[in-house]
């Protein structure tokens, strides 16, 4: 193990903050980035609290997103309601396994893994869970990368609703599950953005309380 | 798409429009933002910022536009939308004859160009060059 004082000096100790937008390092005392005009903070402000709040909202919405119908197919006047899972089962039974797997990963697995991963990251950054920085850094990177792909089901609904308007024969209307699901995707993306992975490195070097660093120097 | 004698076509604004009018306006606006607005800001913004930089100049408001490029980048979802198109085609395939319009191919090419452009750009270099250009003026 390294000793805490064997690390190279950190930007925050020198009063330097890296801009969140353009990554230029500037003294925190000037307040806004001289290059791009963004506000300067040592770490993303209130990062863990915001991440947890957004994450919990997403976790709550995840339930109606999967239980409520995302669309209603009205065939010859008879309505059939489809949830994400019933659409998935249909593809599986049709024998379209690759598509079923893509939908399963994008709609069910990724949001769930994101929620777990971000709670894990927050716990680690608070120092409540022991961790390997290298691995958690990768977990964060993957979480950010994959988040957008969950939107695919919403786009499918949009396309079906727009295309399948065949009068009395068949129409498709969106259901309340679509709204809940879009909410889950957007909230998990916002949560991933508000998490600051540098908190993990701070924790590892024993320099905790980043919010205190922020407030001390502002 | 041809189903029996009925023919419908799909464009991106129409997909968003349909959602807005079929009871989920919020989702509809979301789709419009993620597939129309953000790619426009991203592609337009990159051209607007990068072309003057070739000549060592900065476009008026270049810093502001570059900031918006950074902000919109994660919300650009055209490749996800394209996957959605493919999934929908699988769903509709048994129901009707489907033909790709010109727009589909344009969209697919747009996706590849955009992914290549975003992958090719080194943001640190972009900002460094912007700063140099700004100080020269």
Transcribe A19-55 into DSSP letters: -TTT--EEEGGG-B-TTT-PBP-SS-TTHHHHHHHHH
Per-residue pLDDT, averaged over A152-173, amounts to 78
Same domain for A73 and A120, yes or no, is yes
Same domain for A187 and A101, yes or no, is yes
pLDDT digits (tens, 9 = 90+) for A35-73: 777 777 777 777 888 888 898 898 899 888 888 888 887
Closest Cα of chain A to B65: distance in Å?
Answer: 10
Helix H or strand E encompassing B121: none
Percentage, residues of chain A above pLDDT 70: 87
Same domain for A60 and A24, yes or no, is no
Q: Is the CB of A96 inside 8 Å of chain B's CB atoms? A: yes
The domain containing residue A2 runs over which residues? 1-40
Q: What is the count of structural domains for chain A?
A: 2
Confidence category of residue A29, pLDDT binned at 50, 70, 90: confident
CB atoms within 10 A of CB A115: 20
Same domain for A104 and A14, yes or no, is no
Q: Is the CB of B107 inside 8 Å of chain A's CB atoms? A: no
Same domain for A120 and A196, yes or no, is yes
Ramachandran angles phi, psi of A79, nearest 5°: -80, 140
Per-residue pLDDT, averaged over A192-207, amounts to 76
Q: Averaged in consecutive runs of 10 residues, what is the pLDDT profile of chain B (137 residues)? A: 53 74 77 84 85 79 82 83 83 71 81 82 79 73
Residues A140 and B114: their CA atoms lie apart, in Å, by 24
Mutation target to probe the A interface, by most A beta carbons within 10 A, among B3, B7, B30 is: B30
Same domain for A126 and A85, yes or no, is yes
Confidence category of residue A214, pLDDT binned at 50, 70, 90: low
Same domain for A5 and A71, yes or no, is no
Same domain for A51 and A31, yes or no, is no
Closest Cα of chain B to A196: distance in Å?
Answer: 16
B82 and B108 in contact (C-beta within 8 Å)? yes
Same domain for A96 and A202, yes or no, is yes
Same domain for A127 and A199, yes or no, is yes
Closest Cα of chain A to B107: distance in Å?
Answer: 15
Residue corresponding to tokens 């460094």: B128
Higher pLDDT residue, A181 or A18? A181
Q: Do A159 and B23 touch (CB under 8 A)?
A: no
Q: Is the pLDDT of residue A217 over 60?
A: no
Same domain for A96 and A188, yes or no, is yes
Same domain for A51 and A34, yes or no, is no
Q: Is the pLDDT of residue A210 over 50?
A: no
Tell me what ipTM this predicted complex has.
0.79
Mutation target to probe the B interface, by most B beta carbons within 10 A, among A159, A167, A177 is: A159
- Give pLDDT, residue A1: 42
The predicted model scores a pTM of: 0.80
The region of weakest confidence among A78-92, A153-167, A204-218 is A204-218
């Amino acid at each position: 193990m390294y000793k805490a004082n064997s690390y190279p000096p950190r930007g925050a100790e020198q009063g330097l903050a890296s801009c969140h937008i353009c990554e230029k390092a500037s003294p925190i005392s000037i307040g806004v980035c001289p290059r791009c005009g963004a506000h300067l903070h040592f770490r993303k402000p209130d990062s863990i609290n915001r991440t947890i709040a957004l994450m919990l909202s997403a976790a709550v919405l995840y339930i109606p997103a999967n239980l409520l119908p995302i669309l209603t197919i009205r065939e010859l006047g008879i309505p059939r309601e489809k949830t994400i899972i019933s659409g998935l089962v249909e593809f599986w039974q049709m024998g379209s396994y690759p598509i079923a797997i893509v939908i399963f990963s994008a709609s069910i697995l990724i949001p769930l893994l994101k929620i777990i991963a971000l709670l894990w990251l927050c716990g680690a950054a608070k120092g409540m869970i022991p961790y390997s920085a290298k691995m958690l850094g990768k977990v964060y990177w993957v979480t950010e990368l994959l988040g957008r792909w969950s939107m695919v089901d919403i786009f499918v609904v949009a396309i079906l609703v727009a295309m399948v308007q065949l009068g009395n024969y068949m129409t498709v209307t969106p259901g309340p599950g679509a709204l809940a699901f879009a909410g889950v995707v957007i909230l998990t993306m916002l949560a991933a953005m508000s998490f600051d992975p540098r908190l993990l490195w701070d924790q590892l070097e024993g320099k905790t309380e980043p919010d205190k660093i922020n407030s001390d120097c502002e | 798409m041809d189903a029996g004698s009925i023919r419908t076509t799909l464009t991106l604004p129409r997909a968003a429009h349909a959602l807005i009018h079929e009871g989920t306006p919020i989702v509809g606006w979301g789709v419009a933002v993620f597939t129309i607005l953000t790619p426009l800001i991203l592609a337009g913004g990159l051209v607007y910022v990068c072309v003057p930089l070739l000549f060592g100049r900065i476009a008026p408001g270049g810093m502001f536009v570059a900031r918006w490029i950074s902000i919109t980048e994660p919300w650009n979802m055209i490749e996800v939308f394209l996957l959605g198109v493919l999934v929908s085609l699988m769903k509709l395939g048994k129901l009707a004859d489907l033909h790709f319009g010109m727009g589909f191919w344009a969209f697919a090419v747009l996706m590849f160009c955009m992914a290549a452009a975003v992958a090719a750009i080194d943001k640190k270099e972009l900002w460094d060059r912007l700063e140099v250009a700004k100080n020269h003026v």
